[in-house]
Amino acid sequence: MQNPDIARVFDEVADLLEIQDANPFRVRAYRNAARTIRDFPDPIAELVRSGAKQLTEIPGIGEDLAEKITAIVTTGELPLRKQLAAKLPAGLLDLLRIPGLGPKRVKLLYKKLKVKSAADLAKALDAGKVQKLKGFGPKMEEKMRAGLGQAQVTEHRMLLNEAEAQANAIVAYVKEGGGVRQIEVAGSYRRRRETIGDLDILVTSGDSPRVMDRFVNYGEVLEVVSKGETRSTVKLRGGLQVDLRAVEPAAYGAALQYFTGSKAHNVELRQVAQGKKLKLNEYGLFRGTRRIAGETEAEIYDALGLDWIPPELREARGEIALAREHRLPKLVALDDMRGDLQMHTSATDGQGTIAEMAEAARALRYEYIAITDHSKRVTMARGFDAKRLREQWRTIDEWNAGARGITILKSVELDILETGKLDLPDDVLAEADYVVATIHYGTNQTERELTRRLVGAAEHRWIDAIGHPTGRRLGKREPYPLDFDALARACAAAGCLLELNGHPERMDLPDTLAAAAKQRGVRFALSTDSHQPNNLPFMKYAVDLARRAGLEADDVLNTRPLAAFRKGLKRASQTRAS
C-alpha cells in the first residue's frame, strides 16, 4: 500500500472515533499519525517489508501505531477500523464527503435527528429540521444541499501529492517489468491540478502485451476493468482508476499532447490545425493521410506555428495566442526558490525543532527560511503571546550567530481577529523580519466583513504577506466568501505579498486567483506551511500553483537572494521611512 492509503485508514479511524465521542487526545493521535504517514517521503510499506528501519524511529509513531501500520500493510485492513465502523450505520461516513460536514456535525445530525445517510439528510433538510440545530444556519444548509450529490459521486478525487505517490509507484513497477521504452503520466496529473480523478499513463514498447500483463498484476489492483494488448484499465484499492495505453513511437508526442489535455485546450489546438487544412488527433498531425508530426509534442506545436506550451498552462486561458506570438511566460521553477516562508515548530503545532527545520531546509540548499509559529489566538496550537515569541526570536538570533550557512527569519503567523484587529501589538511586529497574516476563526462572517479584515491586514505597515488567502482545505472546507479583487488591489497598492501555500491540503491561492492578482501587479510568496521537516519538499506543489498561474521568477519574492528579498519587503520601506 502507498502512504496515502495507509493515512486514509487512520483518518477514517479518527472520524469514527470522533463521531462516537472518543477521547479527543486519542482522536488527535490518529489524525497526527495520518498526517505523518501521508507526508513521509519514503514508502512506508517498503520499510515494513524490508525491516530496514523501525517504524518507531519515525517522529510521532509509537509501538501501538507501528503495529497497526504493519497490520494495514500486510493485510490491507485494520481490525480497529472494522470494529468502529460496525457500530455505526453504513451510510454515515458518506456524509463526511459533503463540504462543511466534519465528524462533529455528522455526530450531531446522527444523535439529534437520526440521520444515517445522504437520503436521511435530504429529508431532514426538506422538513426544516436541520437549521434548528445549533451551528446549522442558512449558509450551512445551502452548502449541504449543494454538496448532497457528492455523497453518491463514484469518482474518487485524490490530492495531488497522494496521486503522485500512486503514480510514481505504478510507473516504477511497470518499468521494472522490462520492455518499456518511454513512459509518462498524462492527464490532469501532468497539468498539476490540485486534485486528480484518475491517471492516464502512456508507454511505448516493443512488447506491449507483456507490459499490459504486468500492469494488471500490480499489487494494489482491486479490479481489472478491461485488458487488451494496447490498453488496459484498472481500479486500485484506494478507488483511483488508472489507464495504461501503449502507442507507437511515431505517435507518442501526439498521444502525450492529446491525453494531457485539457479538453478546451485540445479543442482550440484542433481549430488551429483546421485553419491550416491539417488534422490533429492522438495519432499525429496529418496533411491528408500523411502524418507530418507526432513523435514529440514540440514538433506538433512547431508545425502549427506555436511555441511548445508547458502542460501547466494548457487550460485554454489564452496560452495558444501567447505561444503564437512567442510571448509565453518563462515559468518559475523549483530551482529558482531561495527560501521557504511558512513553517511551524514543536513550540506550537509542528513536529520539529527550529534546528531540525533549518537543517532540512539547508539540505534543500535554501538560503533562508521563516519560522512562523502561530500567534496566541490559535489556542489549540499553543500560539505565542509577545513574551514567548520574543523568547523564540532570541533563540533564532543565537542560532543565526553561529553562521551555519542559512538564515532563519524571525517571523510569526499572525491571526487577523474577528474584529479586524491583529493578534499582537505593533511594537512586536516591528521587530520581526517577516510577518504573514492569516484568518483561522470567524470564517462564517459575511463577505464584506472577511474582505475588510484581509484588506485591513494587507494595508498594515508591518504585515508582509497574507497567508492561505481563501482559507480553503481541499475536500474539507470551501473557500470563505471574499471580494478577492479588493484584496488584490490592496496588496498591490501596499506592497503586501500574497502567499501561494503549497501544502497539498490547501494549495491556496488557487491558480486562477493568482493569475488575476498578477494582472493587478501583486507579488507573491511561495511556502509549504510545513509542520515537520519532511514537509519542506512540498515547495514543488507551491511551484505547481505558480506555474499554472503563469508566474515567472520575478513575480515571486523568495526567488531572490536574502539581501534582495529583505529589500523587497514592505517593511523595508517602512523602516527607511522611520
Distance CA 365, CA 337 (A): 9
H-run or E-run covering 224: strand 221-227
CATH class of 251-324: alpha beta
- Give yes or no on whether 158-246 and 251-324 have one common fold: no
CB 117 within 8 A of CB 92: yes
Measured distance CA(314)–CA(309) in Å, rounded: 7
Q: How does pLDDT run along the chain (578 residues), one tens digit per residue?
A: 788 888 889 988 998 998 888 888 888 889 888 888 888 878 888 888 877 568 888 877 888 888 899 998 888 888 998 888 888 887 787 787 776 778 888 888 888 888 888 888 888 888 888 888 887 877 778 778 877 765 554 456 789 999 999 999 999 999 999 999 999 999 999 999 999 989 999 999 999 999 999 999 998 899 999 999 999 999 998 788 999 999 999 999 999 999 998 999 999 999 999 999 999 999 999 999 999 999 999 999 999 999 999 999 999 999 999 999 999 999 999 999 999 999 999 999 888 999 999 999 999 999 999 999 999 998 877 889 999 999 999 999 999 998 788 999 999 999 999 999 999 999 999 999 999 999 999 988 999 999 999 999 999 999 999 999 999 988 778 889 999 999 999 999 999 999 999 999 999 999 999 999 999 999 999 999 999 999 999 999 999 999 999 999 999 999 999 999 999 999 998 765 55
Task: For residues 251 and 312, give the distance between their C-alpha atoms in angstroms, rounded to a whole number.
Answer: 22
**How many Å apart are CA 295 and CA 251, to the nearest integer?**
5
CA distance 29 to 431: 36
CATH code, residues 3-152: 1.10.150.110
Question: Quick one: CATH architecture of 158-246?
Answer: 2-Layer Sandwich (3.30)
Question: What's the whole-model pTM score?
Answer: 0.85
Domain ranges of the chain: 3-152, 158-246, 251-324, 334-577
Q: Which three cell numbers, joined as nine digits, stand for 214? A: 504486468
Q: Which superfamily is assigned to 334-577 in CATH?
A: Metal-dependent hydrolases (3.20.20.140)
Q: Please answer whether residues 203 and 246 qualify as being in contact, where contact means their C-beta atoms are separated by less than 8 angstroms.
A: yes
End-to-end CA distance of the chain: 58
DSSP letters for 136-187: --HHHHHHHHHHGGGGG-----EEHHHHHHHHHHHHHHHHHTS-EEEEEE-H
How far is it, in rounded angstroms, from Cα 557 to Cα 497?
Answer: 8
Instruction: Give the orientation angle of helix 3-19 with respect to helix 24-39, to 10 degrees.
Output: 170
pLDDT value for 154: 42
